[in-house]
């Protein structure tokens, strides 16, 4: 089975890449489960865009400031300038963005933005609305329940992928391969990611001698309801704080202003660390306190109930389902892993460095846009802008080469003990490679990962461990705190 383009992943980056490839090409989209089981579908806040040409310099400045000096400035300029073209295209595709009574786009503000420039859809259901709208327009073939288990690399070409389906294992060949597989959520005990986001593609990159970049730069969302049994914890969008929600302790103190003059609207990494630190101090100060007195809460009392249910219908419904009467009730929150700023190292059109026909777009890639800390709602925008750039490069070059056939790999994908080891890995990464890091803890985590790598595991766990190992090594190499990387 040979294709012009194989796309791995059916989130916003994968779908938008497919929509930018003409019907005449033979294109295959692969997704590990159902196509909606992706991070895009669960994205709440919106898409950051330059509101107009005049806003581009300020959007660039905000992005660079959030990135703490580690952004690729050319990539950031590309992101902001092309946001206008992408927005125009999405509007032409009749994407149902939220508008006022006069038909004007509604913009909201999130942390570290100098102005309201975030468009949204369905209130707090931007990802779900956008994903559903884009997938309805797809004309190319999409395979569900198809897990990529190997990249078929021959020198500086990717000849295709090996894929496991319910019908068996196949080698699929292509002139071009686009990776849009998402981030690394499954490596952490508390996270907001879809359960399919496993970091296995990152491991395949490493085993083929290709590069990951800035993998120590992991963003922990500050406001997550973690008191659920589900692997994916309940994200409480930053847009809530942008619209007026505030963070308090049990006694109602807005303690974030003790850490940063911007309070709730400080950059995410500062808010997450502040909450984490404050909870530790509460435990030290009040060793005999009741559990609820040691919690930190998100307070919605500034909201009118009708406004809250109109602006945040999904969050209201989810919180109602676990027993909260919002906006009346405060909700206990904790930071949780949310987004990986680093990823597969690419150039400015999403091409993987060292490869001729392999691209990476969206969260799995590192374009340099986010630097040490992603500016809120730039993630969906990055997936749109750089997937479009990747397809433009593919169409401009019309690459064709002699594809050699590969034998089907025979490695055992999963062994009996792997599930227990995955749980151990998640616990290790959360406690030792999380919000606040210590060199001793990182070394302990590295030792644990290396022991697991030598313990007769299945292939899929090995790939996760290779990614975890790279994250830890990157964190150890960067000895000074910067952006989301905070080391004591």
Cis peptide leading into residue 481 (ω within 30°): no
Q: What is the pLDDT of residue 401?
A: 74
pLDDT for the residue numbered 152 = 97
pLDDT score at 283: 94
Instruction: Look at the domain 2-214+341-396 and name its fold.
Output: FAD/NAD(P)-binding domain (3.50.50)
Burial of 328 (0-12, 13-18, 19+ CB in 10 A): exposed
- Does residue 268 carry a catalytic annotation? yes
How many residues does this entry show for the chain? Answer: 488
Listed by start position, the domains of the chain span: 2-214+341-396, 224-336, 412-477
Q: Which of 268, 311, 389, 426 is catalytic?
A: 268
> What are phi and psi for residue 189, nearest 5 degrees?
-65, -40
pLDDT at 418: 97
Strands, sheet with 47-48, edge to edge from the N-terminal-most edge strand = 47-48, 118-119, 107-108
**Could you report the average pLDDT of every consecutive run of 10 residues in the chain (488 residues)?**
96 98 97 94 91 97 95 98 98 97 93 92 92 97 98 96 95 97 96 94 98 97 90 88 94 97 87 93 95 96 96 93 96 95 98 97 98 94 98 89 87 95 97 96 98 96 98 98 94
Equal CATH topology for 224-336 and 412-477? no
Q: Report the first-to-last Cα separation within the chain, whole angstroms.
A: 52
Q: Scanning the structure block, which residue is given the tokens 């400035």?
A: 73
Domain spanning 224-336 has what CATH number?
3.90.700.10
Pick the CATH number of 412-477 from 1.20.58.100, 1.10.3720.10, 1.10.760.10, 1.10.3210.10: 1.20.58.100
3-state SS class at 374: coil
Contacts of range 136-139, beta carbons closer than 8 Å, 24 or more positions apart = 137/19, 137/93, 138/15, 138/18, 138/19, 138/29, 139/23
The one-character DSSP state at 209 is T
Please tell me the predicted confidence (pLDDT) of residue 267: 79
Task: Give the pLDDT of residue 214.
Answer: 98
The values of phi and psi at residue 222, to 5°, are -75, -25
Contact 298, 223 (CB under 8 A): yes
Q: Label residue 284 exposed, middle or buried (CB < 10 Å: 0-12, 13-18, 19+).
A: exposed
Q: Considering only CA atoms, which of 151, 147, 130, 180 is closest in space to residue 350? A: 180
Q: Rounded to two decimals, what is the model's pTM? A: 0.93
Is residue 475 within 8 Å of residue 440, measured between CB atoms?
no
**Contact present, 182 and 193 (Cβ < 8 Å):** yes
Res 242: pLDDT: 86
């Amino acid at each position: 089975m040979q294709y012009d383009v194989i796309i791995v992943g059916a989130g916003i980056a994968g779908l938008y890449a497919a929509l930018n490839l003409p019907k005449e090409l033979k294109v295959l989209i692969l997704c590990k489960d159902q196509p909606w089981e992706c991070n895009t579908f669960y994205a709440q806040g919106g898409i950051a865009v330059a509101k107009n040409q005049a806003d581009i310099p300020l959007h660039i400045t905000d992005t660079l400031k959030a990135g703490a000096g580690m952004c690729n400035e050319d990539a950031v300029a590309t992101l902001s300038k092309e946001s206008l073209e992408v927005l125009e295209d999405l509007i032409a595709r009749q994407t149902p963005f939220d508008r006022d009574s006069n038909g004007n786009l509604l913009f909201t503000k999130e942390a570290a933005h100098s102005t309201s420039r975030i468009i949204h859809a369905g209130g707090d259901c931007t990802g779900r609305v956008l994903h559903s709208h884009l997938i309805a327009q797809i004309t190319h073939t999409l395979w569900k329940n198809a897990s990529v288990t190997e990249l078929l690399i021959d020198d500086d070409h990717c000849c295709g992928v090996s894929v496991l389906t319910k019908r068996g294992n196949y080698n699929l060949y292509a002139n071009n391969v686009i990776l849009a597989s998402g981030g690394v959520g499954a490596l952490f005990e508390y996270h907001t990611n879809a359960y399919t986001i496993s970091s296995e593609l990152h491991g395949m990159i490493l085993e083929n001698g290709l590069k990951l970049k800035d993998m120590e730069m992991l963003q922990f969302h500050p406001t997550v309801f973690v008191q659920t049994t589900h692997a994916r914890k309940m994200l409480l969008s930053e847009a809530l704080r942008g619209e007026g929600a505030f963070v308090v302790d049990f006694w109602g103190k807005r303690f974030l202003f003790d850490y940063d003059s911007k309070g709730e609207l400080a950059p995410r990494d500062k808010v997450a660390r502040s909450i984490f630190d404050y909870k530790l101090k509460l435990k030290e100060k009040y060793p005999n306190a009741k559990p609820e007195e040691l919690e930190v809460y998100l307070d919605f009392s500034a909201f009118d109930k009708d406004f809250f249910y109109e602006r945040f219908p999904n969050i209201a419904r989810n919180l109602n389902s676990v027993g909260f009467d919002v906006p009346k009730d405060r909700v206990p929150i904790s930071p949780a892993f949310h987004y990986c700023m680093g990823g597969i190292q690419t150039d400015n059109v999403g091409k993987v460095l060292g490869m001729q026909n392999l691209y990476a777009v969206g969260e799995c890639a590192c374009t340099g846009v986010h630097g040490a800390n992603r500016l809120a709602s730039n993630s969906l925008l990055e997936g749109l802008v750089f997937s479009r750039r990747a397809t433009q490069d593919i169409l401009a070059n019309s690459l064709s080469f002699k594809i050699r056939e590969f034998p089907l790999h025979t490695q055992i994908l999963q062994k009996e003990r792997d599930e227990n080891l995955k749980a151990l890995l998640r616990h290790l990464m959360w406690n030792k490679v999380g919000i606040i890091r210590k060199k001793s803890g990182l070394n302990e985590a590295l030792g644990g990962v290396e022991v697991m790598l030598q313990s007769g595991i299945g292939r899929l766990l090995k790939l996760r461990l290779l990614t975890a190992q790279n994250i830890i090594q990157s964190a150890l190499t960067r000895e000074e705190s910067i952006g989301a990387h905070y080391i004591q």
